[in-house]
Chains A and B, each alone.
Chain A
């Protein structure tokens, strides 16, 4: 309670010692009731009503103009602010809303060619003119920002909507048009070093069992139309206009390759023939080796070493020896380019069609003098000519003898040894000793009808691949 002193009366006595002594005092106080403002409101109401009956071209307008002018020469600041601020507190059901409503209504249109447009416009227009500046920045911002903080397990929702919704109905004009436009248009007029960018960005972040999704949906429906059409167009168009002629190459390097390789660890994994061949979609990849062994390994039924002339066709000359010693050597030489740059980089290249040379080097011991004579005669008779070799594993080779002058050594009584070196390619597709088989089929089909058809079909196919 507030006390307010309104009147005070004092009675004083004067003593002989010139001292003042108050004997009686009365105060009158008025009680002052507290006053709490219940409602504070500022209202700026612009309300015009125009009656259409009075004047055909009537108009009504509300204007709320913020106009500021700062005549300073150096850093100036001009701002217009329209703030709508509401606060709801201590309510179980709170509500805070800001509305900037544009509502226009035009009615009583009953005359042909009468046209009263209704429109809502929210226009941001800034113009900055700097006569001698280096940098201009004109921003226009339409921002929707809501923040809700709630300590409790209540579902929250924050929504921003930019909606374009038009409805045209009950119009006698048969040509109706509804258009929604969301246009990003920039123009930078400087002749160089400009950047223009339009961005339509969807960014969602979801935490703990929520769902984040971005949708760009084009949906047109034509119902009951007469030759109507619905189309969705998502067009990306870039245009570069230059005043000068520059040679620019636009290249896109997207060199992606995927490959998969695997292997199983088994006790005999390092003994058996088992290349683990995966998959790869990389272009230019060389051919993988065969997944099956190049030769069916077995103990040959006739472990001999045979030299046959000619290399293909009927046998004119033939030498049969025992299997060579275990110091045989199979060499595989590949033609390739092996270079090192001045900077130290190692470059290796080989064309797949370049030859790959196989060489067999082996030694025979325990041959008789007759066998030595036979093999030397065979080599000399067909020196430089292609022969066929069937080795002790049953593999057939096609090639030439490299060293016809290999010496034969007499190691004991009718016991000779000789070396042999041969270069050739292996014949993979046919086992040795098999001749080419041609199979002919004659088919004679007689039908009941008086047409007799005789067919004599010869169909041969011989694959003879040299590797």
Chain B
């Protein structure tokens, strides 16, 4: 299970999603700029950015759950949110997906909404 809660720390809304698809990624946002002087000395300029990381998850969810997630993103697009991922790891940060696109994946008459939708979430830690 994948849990999104916002706004952090005074949580007022919780949205539950199924576990994401394979292919989720973690990307450090730190930057290293290397410059070499005329005498051959290597200088590195580092932006550690507090060791923050970017995360990317993709979900296949029902149409109803897509509407719920869209409403969640709409409400807390600028709020700090808390994510408990499928490994029970907690992240605090902001949703970076803009725009958030929900694509119709296929018909599924047995699920709420009658369709499956796919959506990607990009998230950047802030603390």
Contact = CB atoms under 8 A, between A and B. Distances in A.
Interface of A: 257-259, 261-263, 268-280, 282, 285-290, 293-295, 297, 299, 326-334, 336-338, 340, 344-346, 348-350, 356-357, 359
A334 B98 contact: yes
Given A273-B112, A344-B49, A350-B78, A332 B103 contact: no
Nearest first, the 9 A-B pairs at minimum CB distance are: A350-B78, A333-B99, A289-B71, A282-B10, A259-B10, A273-B64, A344-B49, A280-B12, A276-B14
Nearest to A334: B77
B67 to A, nearest CB: 6
Contacts of B63: 297
A289 B75 contact: yes
Given A289-B75, A346-B52, A326 B47 contact: no
Contacts of A336: 77-78, 98
19 contacts: A261-B11, A268-B112, A272-B112, A274-B16, A278-B11, A285-B7, A285-B10, A289-B13, A297-B113, A297-B114, A326-B105, A328-B104, A331-B100, A332-B73, A336-B77, A344-B49, A345-B50, A346-B52, A359-B99
A463 to B, nearest CB: 20
Interface residues of B, number: 57
A154 B93 CA distance: 62
A449 to B, nearest CB: 58
B79 A262 contact: no
Nearest to A284: B7
Given A286-B75, A350-B78, A272 B52 contact: no
A276 B93 CA distance: 20
Interface string B84-127: 00000000011010111111111100011111000000001010
A151 B92 CA distance: 58
B112 to A, nearest CB: 5
A308 B96 CA distance: 35
Contacts of B17: 270
Which among A294, A299, A337 has the greatest number of chain B C-beta atoms within 10 A? Answer: A294
Given A273-B112, A329-B102, A288 B12 contact: yes
Interface of B: 1, 5, 7, 9-18, 47-50, 52, 61-68, 70-80, 93-94, 96, 98-107, 111-115, 124, 126
A286 B76 contact: yes
Contacts of B1: 270
Given A278-B14, A357-B99, A350 B77 contact: yes
A259 B8 CA distance: 10
Contact of A327 (B80, B96, B104): B104
Contacts of A337: 78
A275 B73 contact: no
